[in-house]
Amino acid sequence: MTDHLDLWQVHDMRTEEDLKEIFGPDGALEAFARAKQEGFVRFIGVTGHHDPSIIQRCIQDFDFDTVLIPVNPAEPAYKSFIDEVIPIAHRKGMGIVGMKTYFRGLRKRYPDLEHWKLFSGSHCLTLYRPQ
């Protein structure tokens, strides 16, 4: 039994509409901030899977403690969380958690993934979780 959460995350921010919902009046962030202020939550995080510009705006507009983002060699070729989010999160002293480090599940197809693990681990991450 516990009396608090260590980390409560606003999950899978994707769209402008999502931003309006969490940042607007009576939005989710008011509840998150109140829970942290009252000691029910230690850290507040945000996660994103699709659009780094949305996550970039989230971490610029609110003092999140952590950010969970995809980090693998394929990401910079499409929309780069590595280039657009990590530098801002690093400057703000946020915890940076990498996900999808093995190319979004391709681990089963390729037996040797050590170089992908090294790639993900080389981007100033606080934590990464191979998937």
Instruction: Quick: pLDDT tens for 106-122.
Output: 666 666 666 666 666 66
User: What pLDDT score does 76 carry?
Assistant: 72
- Report the CATH number that the domain containing residue 20 is assigned in CATH: 3.20.20.100
- Express as a percent the part of the chain with pLDDT over 70: 77
> Residue ranges of the alpha helices (H) in 1-131?
16-23, 28-37, 52-61, 81-84, 86-91, 114-121
Q: In this predicted structure, what is the pLDDT of residue 131?
A: 47
**Each residue of 74-115: pLDDT tens digit?**
777 778 899 999 999 999 999 999 887 766 556 666 666 666
Q: Which structural domain range is residue 14 located in?
A: 5-128
Q: How many domains does the chain have?
A: 1
**Residue entry with tokens 């969970």:** 68
The average confidence (pLDDT) of the chain is: 85
